[in-house]
Chain A
């Protein structure tokens, strides 16, 4: 079945540094990938929709200059958290789908801790 690989699975960084998270669709091409943030015991919150070859569409309240998304190929999207602060500590998850009606395939998430 369709597999989405997310890397790293966890990362600890110092305040002010930047962190890049990769999301790869391993056995299918994904023209659209999604990035979510999830705080403890909360639901997934969509941050942005990433379209291959074009700019990402950010949800209201998500700073596009802080959360840089690059979708350079049909199998790879990256999320870079720039100048991370402790309040950015969260669980970040990506998902991808083959087409609009198909299931979303989720990565296993990246736990980011900013100290």
Chain B
């Protein structure tokens, strides 16, 4: 069964600190992996998209990594800001027209 598991479920960090969110998946055949940021009450916003051949991609203070062999991805946030408080969702796409598989998200709270 295609699944995406994210950890931790929630995380609280101090402003200015770094953090890493994890995403493990069993989706096969793999096509791409996406990280989204969802502010409360808003639609998700794309942070990164990686295909099989890419193992790292950055977007400002966000850096995503992908290990297609172990089927793991991480999202690293550097020098966190209060505005980083949101849910971060990992989404994995399979080949063809099969639906994307969504993780349940990690709820990040950055406090002063």
Using a CB–CB distance below 8 Å, which chain A residues touch chain B?
Answer: 4, 6, 41-46, 49, 59, 91, 93, 95, 100-109, 111
Once bound together, how far apart are the Cα atoms of A103 and B35, in whole Å? Answer: 10
When the two chains form their complex, are residues B99 and A42 in contact, meaning their CB atoms are under 8 A apart? Answer: no
* A-chain residues with CB within 8 Å of residue B43 when the two chains form the complex: 4, 6, 93, 95, 106-109
Once bound together, how far apart are the Cα atoms of A100 and B34, in whole Å? Answer: 13
Once bound together, how far apart are the Cα atoms of A105 and B43, in whole Å? Answer: 9
Contact of A103 among B46, B99, B104 (CB under 8 A): B46
For the complex, is B72 an interface residue (Cβ under 8 Å from A)? no
* A-chain residues with CB within 8 Å of residue B110 when the two chains form the complex: none
**Count of interface residues, chain B, beta-carbon cutoff 8 Å:** 23
Contact of A44 among B42, B44, B46, B97 (CB under 8 A): B44
Given contacts A95-B43, A106-B44, A109-B42, contact A46 B99 (CB under 8 A): yes
A68 to chain B, nearest CB (A): 20
Q: Which A residue sits closest to B99, measured CB to CB? A: A46
Q: Which 10 pairs from chain A and chain B are nearest by CB?
A: A106-B43, A103-B46, A43-B104, A108-B43, A106-B44, A93-B43, A107-B43, A109-B43, A44-B102, A43-B102
When the two chains form their complex, are residues B89 and A103 in contact, meaning their CB atoms are under 8 A apart? Answer: no
When the two chains form their complex, are residues B105 and A101 in contact, meaning their CB atoms are under 8 A apart? Answer: no
For the complex, is B60 an interface residue (Cβ under 8 Å from A)? no
Q: Can you list 13 A-B contacts (CB < 8 A)?
A: A6-B43, A42-B104, A43-B102, A43-B103, A43-B104, A43-B105, A45-B102, A101-B31, A101-B93, A103-B46, A103-B49, A106-B36, A109-B43
Given contacts A101-B51, A104-B46, A107-B43, contact A49 B89 (CB under 8 A): no
A60 to chain B, nearest CB (A): 11
Q: Which A residue sits closest to B45, measured CB to CB? A: A106
* A-chain residues with CB within 8 Å of residue B91 when the two chains form the complex: 104
When the two chains form their complex, are residues A111 and B104 in contact, meaning their CB atoms are under 8 A apart? Answer: no
